[in-house]
A and B are shown apart, each in its own frame.
Chain A
Amino acid sequence: DAGVTQSPTHLIKTRGQHVTLRCSPISGHKSVSWYQQVLGQGPQFIFQYYEKEERGRGNFPDRFSARQFPNYSSELNVNALLLGDSALYLCASSGQAGGYNEQFFGPGTRLTVL
């Protein structure tokens, strides 16, 4: 069975640009979470979506937004990119919402902002 997939694998943008990252969860999973992992640090929670509704939001500015589609795939959008947005963006899926559920992580999208 396919795991969580993310696209693109790598991305280079310049300051002020916009970026869209995509995630496809494991088949049957209805919850998708997004994390930002800056080099040398642990992942930081950005968003969780369950059944197409936002269920949680981390401490990130409004430049970050996300949505979940009827097929449970998800997009993370970041506007007005800053150098500090350079990071590995991880998507994770789980069968249900709720903190006790195991999250399955994709390989991530490496974003570099120049």
Chain B
Amino acid sequence: AQSVTQLGSHVSVSEGALVLLRCNYSSSVPPYLFWYVQYPNQGLQLLLKYTTGATLVKGINGFEAEFKKSETSFHLTKPSAHMSDAAEYFCAVSDSVNDMRFGAGTRLTVKP
């Protein structure tokens, strides 16, 4: 069975600082990995995804994530935080079937 663990339910950074949101996964087959962002009272928006190929994945809004098989990790980073990045972030794992499993989420706060 697949699962995702997001380390840290809340992360707070200053505007302009590095954003690092941690995600570890468990999967018995090669995983497909996703990061989604959710703004208040809205649905989820895809930031980036890893399927196959290059392990460093670039997404929208300056975010990127690196798939590290040896560490079973898929951490999300952004070099410089903006106030508009404040939101809930979800890591998700899927396989070749259909079931997508989400982590519990990390709430990012950006301080001015």
A residues bordering B, Cβ < 8 Å? 4, 33, 35, 40-45, 48, 50, 55-56, 58, 90, 92, 97-100, 102-108
Number of residues on chain B facing chain A (CB within 8 A): 26
The answer to whether A103 touches B100, judged by C-beta atoms less than 8 angstroms apart, is yes
The answer to whether B32 touches A99, judged by C-beta atoms less than 8 angstroms apart, is yes
Residues B69-112 near A (CB distance < 8 A): 90, 92, 94-105
Please, which residues of chain B bring their CB within 8 A of the CB of A33?
98, 100
Closest to A50 in B: B98
The answer to whether A98 touches B98, judged by C-beta atoms less than 8 angstroms apart, is yes
Q: List 25 A-B contacts (CB under 8 A).
A: A33-B100, A35-B102, A40-B104, A41-B105, A42-B92, A42-B105, A43-B44, A43-B102, A48-B98, A55-B98, A56-B99, A58-B99, A90-B44, A92-B43, A92-B44, A98-B96, A98-B97, A99-B94, A99-B95, A99-B96, A99-B100, A100-B51, A103-B46, A104-B46, A105-B36
